[in-house]
Amino acid sequence: MTGSRGVLGYLWASDAEQAASFEPQDVGDNESYQSGLTWLSRLRSAHDRGLSPSEALAELTAPLDHEISTIDITSLKELTSGH
């Protein structure tokens, strides 16, 4: 996740652990904190609708607003696999 000052944090998901969350880049930064609250709320909503963590992450790749950008799930998988 990026914002006005660069990377705010990272979304992650694990179907094996039935978990997903947002990890802030800087826990003391208010923009990172606010972004984290937004993403955690969206992840909770997806969970409450019965989505798996990876399904939730895929659904939530659409931008929240004009200041926060996202990366599509395919590109994210490529980045994390080293390809």
- If one counts the domains in the chain, the total is 1
- Of the two residues 65 and 18, the one the predictor is more confident about is 18
- Of the two residues 32 and 50, the one the predictor is more confident about is 50
Mean pLDDT confidence for 71-82: 71
Say yes or no to pLDDT of 81 above 90. no
Say yes or no to pLDDT of 67 above 70. no
Determine the Cα–Cα distance for residues 83 and 69; give it in Å rounded to an integer. Answer: 22
pTM of the model: 0.66
pLDDT band at 64 (very low <50, low <70, confident <90, very high): low
Scanning the chain, the segments in alpha helix (DSSP H) are: 30-48, 53-59, 73-81
What is the residue range of 65's domain?
A: 2-81
